[in-house]
Structure 1
Amino acid sequence: MKNLLTIFVSPEVTFQRVKSSKLAWLTCMIVLMVFSCLIIYLQMPILQQITLDSFKSNPQISPDTYDTLAASSKVISYITVVITSAISIFIGGLLFMLLNLIVRGEAKYMQLVTVSAFAALPGSIGGLLTGILLKATNAQTLNDISISLGALVQDKGSMLFKALSIINPFSIWTLVLYIIGASVMMNRSKKQVAVWITIVWLIFSFGSLLLVK
């Protein structure tokens, strides 16, 4: 558990310490799963309202089944977020493994899974903070609260809002941990891995906007 705290104040030392650990990633992944469930819990009133509105807009769904379907969707939400948390960590490890091959690094796959897991912690904290603010302010939509540059945009449905929402302290924090962790595990300079990681991060972050209607 010590590593889960020191990763925020001394990330390079922490990555050096967990480099030889076989279970550090597992502990971190469990924490991420718990955080993900808490985030969904905080967002659930809004998510349930969105689900109910979708039911009402579908004439084929009987009003008598709303409660049952809503309960099912609630359970599915928790299951999905737990599974997604785990899968994303291992996919992140695979992407780092490709970089490891490119820079001829010395990392092993599970070491890179560890980097992927620990680097996801800031994002989870950002999600928790946003969820708490949503709950505290009785927000009506998920976009009512933003801790990113998107907060400067009034039109929450615009492409500008979605683009600026990517730039927030927690996403930048994650990017920095990616670079530090990859550098330590691959035994390569931060400068060497930073270029590749930043390019891929930008492609994935802003490329995802093309998939959003």
Structure 2
Amino acid sequence: MQQGKFITLEGSEGAGKSTNLAYIQELLQAQGLEVVTTREPGGTEIGEKIRALLLDPENTAMHQDTELLLMFAARAQHIFEKIQPALQRGAWVISDRFTDASYAYQGAARGMGFARIEPIENWVQQGFAPDLTLVFDLPIAIGMQRVKSRGAVVDRFEQEQKTFFENVRNAYLERAEAAPQRYAVVDAAQSLVVVQSQIRQQLASKLGLIC
């Protein structure tokens, strides 16, 4: 049986990852593929409990090292319980965020640096990485306006300041530029029709899918 493909969606708040994850799922299922959708932090029972700790806006005393290690604890469970078993049976997995988020949020925005994250990534993932990472990019002001328009209570990350998210955005673009064979940047400031056209083009060029 041929192993499935692993697609991750990245970007700062308000970039439209959730909407477009569902769209990609539909495209892949139309190809007759089994599709597993998931998210980080979370994706498993244990991971979702860790997610609750990480996103709780009352946890203002959480140290950045604690934050990073909790992210990778949830990720380890996610990989070995859900992602790898699905890929091994031939399913395609789409995740709303993965390890690139740790580099963007903890490495860049928290100022920890990439060098502190790399050994943890190597230990937990042992070389495991996505086949394709779509970076949904848009100006921070637009993204934050979209978040506000939802009317929902903001989580511990969403309450950060503009500079924090500028650093997140820049880190994503830096990583995408450094490895264009795995990453594709999607202009998420465009209309949904245009964004989804970009997605189809990238699935075709990067993974050979005709959607």
User: What TM-score results when the alignment is normalised by the length of structure 1?
Assistant: 0.31
Structure scoring higher RCO (CA < 8 A, sep ≥ 6) equals 2
Choose between structure 1 and 2: higher helix proportion. 1
User: What TM-score results when the alignment is normalised by the length of structure 2?
Assistant: 0.31
- Find the structure with the greater CA-based Rg: 1
Choose between structure 1 and 2: higher strand proportion. 2
